[in-house]
Structure 1
């Protein structure tokens, strides 16, 4: 994927999460935005997938919730495999050839469960923090590079701060102040809420291999500007 494609996907995600009701949790709006961009009937977002502190942040419908619970109970399925391997994993429940016989047999009993795929959440190269699992009625999968990119951006948006930015929590107030100022400017540029603007800043930082403070500086110096359908940057 080139930078233009990444930018287009990020801006579409920002607009879609902003279009949802403000009382809907950010994690749910991110899942729905993913579905709005790449398609699918429903999705689930789960952190620490195979660990004791596993937590499901979002299920968009009953089918997604039941499939997620089933994988948790059985300990098998595309979600656990994607979390362990760090690779996108596909399960076609219509096929008798399946890597997870117990899960496949049980999942076939859930109306609406036909094909599902799991995308590992990798906000950084050295680890997977969770999985986004999507179910759909056919085997026409989206572009997998786009799927991985969007899920990584979602991961960067839902964590409290990007992994390489933890030092900002104890850093000088000036750095945090600039981030808050940049967030306010993105709110004005895109007419989104503060949480959505911060999510976009994190996703942009992740995408362009920048720190959050570097992105904030580019916005406050007006070298980086977001509009409804694009972002522009001047040197």
Structure 2
């Protein structure tokens, strides 16, 4: 494929990614594009969640989910290291791999013999995760392949980060709406002010170690606070 054709494909991908409604949908598009362009048999995305926890999304095959779960379990592997150190890790022949002595043999048992992990970094350098590609047979991965993967993972990281931000905002708005509804129920039932109703929810959340949003959701759905056994 010519450089111009590759550039056009990446530009088209970038438009599609930013139009995707969720971060998972974005990841699915990235995986499908990467597998097609680089001829990988399997692909997935590892996202860095709160507290540094790694989560696999958009696996193209159950083998990907299993391989990534093993990386988390064993604390080693190309996707694990790519997400951790924000670098690309390549293995053309997994049977000869020595960097991950516990994971590599398990990967071979799963039928993975080639791997490319390209990091996903946000606009401010924040660790977003890693794009993970696997081959069933040993596969010669060129410097051009790595460079090409790096180009579209830059677009992917920004799109995924943007989608995550939007999801967070939607979650926050939904939570505010639920809390407002729960306040209204308490105000009507007990003649409380809005501030007093919020204090009731907040104290219940703290005393019972239940998230405020969950307390509000339970009250809205059942007209009772969790565990109080009363329904209107």
Under TM normalisation by the shorter chain, which class is it?
0.5 to 0.7
Structure 1 residues 120 and 139: CA distance shift in structure 2, 3 A: same
User: What are the ranges of 5 or more consecutive residues in structure 1 without an aligned counterpart?
Assistant: 18-23, 170-235
Alignment deviations for residues 148-173 of structure 1 (CA, whole Å, 9 cap, x no partner): 1111111112223699x9xxx9xxxx
Alignment deviations for residues 58-116 of structure 1 (CA, whole Å, 9 cap, x no partner): 10112211111110111101112212322101133121x411111112212112x1011
Conserved in 1, the CA contact under 8 Å of 2:83 and 2:119?
A: yes
User: What are the ranges of 5 or more consecutive residues in structure 2 without an aligned counterpart?
Assistant: 18-23, 171-232
Which residues in structure 2 correspond to 1:147-162 (within 5 Å)?
A: 147-160=149-162
Which protein, 1 or 2, shows the higher relative CO under an 8 Å CA cutoff with sep ≥ 6? Answer: 1
What is residue 117 of structure 1 aligned with on the other side? Answer: 116
Q: What is the CA distance between 1:16 and its match in structure 2? A: 8.4
CA distance in 1 between partners of 2:139 and 2:71 (Å)? 20
> TM-score normalised to the size of structure 1?
0.56
What is residue 133 of structure 1 aligned with on the other side? Answer: 132
CA distance in 2 between partners of 1:85 and 1:42 (Å)? 22
Runs of 4 or more above 4 Å deviation: 3-6, 14-17, 49-52
Structure 1 residues 25 and 85: CA distance shift in structure 2, 3 A: closer
Q: Which structure: larger Rg?
A: 2
Structure in which a larger fraction of residues adopt helix:
2
Q: What is the CA distance between 1:30 and its match in structure 2? A: 2.2
> TM-score normalised to the size of structure 2?
0.57
Conserved in 2, the CA contact under 8 Å of 1:9 and 1:150?
A: no
Conserved in 1, the CA contact under 8 Å of 2:14 and 2:156?
A: no
**Cα-Cα RMSD:** 3.3
Give the count of matched residue pairs.
156
Structure 1 residues 76 and 51: CA distance shift in structure 2, 3 A: farther
